[in-house]
């Protein structure tokens, strides 16, 4: 029981400290530079504080991050660094090459949808990005890297929605001169490649930082994941429309989809989207999870052919 309670405290403590630091960035306390530093380093500060809390409590066990030591394959007694395309333990049957197209199609659907959805969310007009998005280039690079990673038994790559949105939010500059009661608006996004290179470098350096990473409780990481999930909801239209269901019409914001569409029809569309999300979650959480890519891709004809029968084209746009 003490372990469960302490893990819950570590998770919620990490989340609330990081979330408070993010809100503190737009407060009126301290100077502007100090607020920006505290806000930008909110996650490392929350991790450090909660790790120290866990370190001071010596009579309760908490599960720590499992970091393997050294650099080796996952199962060195089963395979080496290179995976032979024609089979590592005998001749690869010809029929199996064609049968592999079925799971390959499932993986393709997941990678395609994840990458494109992430790109669409990141490159919304509200973010005022100056550089174009590489929809086709991203797929080309991810497909090429996927083939190379398969030869070495490495995980396939795809765009991570939550982390990508969190990264963009960290690079977003909000307006400062606003009227009382008005929410800050996006001024610009610092579009550069330095943070991406540094992230990749730090991930590589994690090999030599194993002893330090093993001191981080898993509950602290769950708190960070919770923080990333909550903060990434900002700017997601579905989340905003979901909140509008429980809000009187007179308090609705002046968004175009609120002004141009009747409230009950907007709420109906939101409920349909929510039902699709619940269906996807149910399929993913049961033994039918293998059919998840097919259920996911079926949302495309639903939007393309079914919804236009009930909603006007202007409402859908």
79 and 200 both lie in a single domain: yes
pLDDT exceeds 80 at position 175: no
187 and 265 both lie in a single domain: no
pLDDT exceeds 80 at position 70: no
pLDDT exceeds 70 at position 94: yes
**Whole-number pLDDT of residue 41:** 81
**Whole-number pLDDT of residue 12:** 92
pLDDT in tens, 44-66: 888 899 999 888 888 888 888 88
Domain count across the chain: 3
**Whole-number pLDDT of residue 177:** 62
87 and 174 both lie in a single domain: yes
305 and 267 both lie in a single domain: yes
pLDDT in tens, 111-134: 888 888 888 888 877 777 777 777
pTM across the whole model: 0.70
80 and 202 both lie in a single domain: yes
Q: Is the dihedral of CA 305, 110, 139, 233 positive or negative?
A: positive
Q: Average model confidence (pLDDT) for the chain?
A: 82
Cα 212–chain centre separation: 25
Distance between CA atoms of residues 290 and 30, nearest Å: 53
- In order, the DSSP letters of 160-196 are -HHHHHHHHHHTEEE-----TTPPP-EEEE---SHHH
pLDDT in tens, 302-315: 888 888 888 888 87
**Whole-number pLDDT of residue 1:** 58
119 and 22 both lie in a single domain: no
CA angle 81, 87, 92 (to 5 degrees): 170
98 and 126 both lie in a single domain: yes
Distance between CA atoms of residues 214 and 271, nearest Å: 43
Domain range for 18 is 1-66+207-235
Distance between CA atoms of residues 146 and 189, nearest Å: 29
């Amino acid at each position: 029981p003490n372990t469960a309670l302490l893990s819950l405290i570590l998770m919620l403590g990490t989340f609330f400290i990081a979330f408070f630091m993010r809100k503190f960035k737009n407060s009126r306390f301290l100077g502007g530079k100090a607020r920006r530093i505290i806000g930008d380093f909110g996650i490392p500060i929350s991790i450090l504080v909660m790790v120290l809390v866990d370190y001071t409590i010596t009579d309760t066990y908490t599960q720590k991050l499992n970091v393997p030591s050294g650099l080796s394959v996952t199962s060195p007694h089963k395979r080496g660094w290179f995976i032979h395309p024609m089979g590592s333990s005998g001749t690869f049957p010809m029929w199996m090459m064609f049968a592999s197209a079925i799971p390959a199609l499932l993986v393709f659907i997941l990678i395609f949808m994840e990458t494109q959805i992430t790109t669409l969310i990141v490159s919304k007009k509200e973010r005022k990005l100056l550089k174009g998005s590489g929809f086709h280039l991203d797929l080309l690079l991810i497909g090429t890297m996927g083939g190379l990673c398969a030869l070495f038994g490495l995980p396939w790559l795809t765009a991570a929605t939550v982390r990508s949105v969190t990264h963009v939010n960290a690079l977003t500059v909000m307006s400062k001169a606003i009227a009382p009661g008005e929410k800050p608006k996006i001024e610009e996004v610092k579009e550069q490649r330095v943070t991406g290179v540094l992230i990749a470098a730090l991930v590589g350096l994690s090999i030599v930082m194993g002893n330090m990473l093993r001191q981080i409780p898993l509950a602290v990481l769950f708190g960070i994941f919770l923080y990333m999930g909550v903060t990434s909801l900002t700017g997601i239209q579905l989340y905003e429309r979901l909140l509008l269901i429980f809000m009187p019409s007179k308090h609705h914001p002046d968004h175009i989809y609120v002004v141009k569409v009747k409230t009950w029809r907007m709420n109906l569309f939101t409920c349909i989207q929510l039902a699709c999300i619940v269906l996807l979650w149910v399929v993913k959480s049961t033994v039918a999870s293998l059919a998840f890519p097919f259920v996911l891709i079926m949302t495309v004809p639903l939007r393309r052919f079914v919804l236009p029968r009930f909603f006007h084209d202007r409402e859908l746009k």
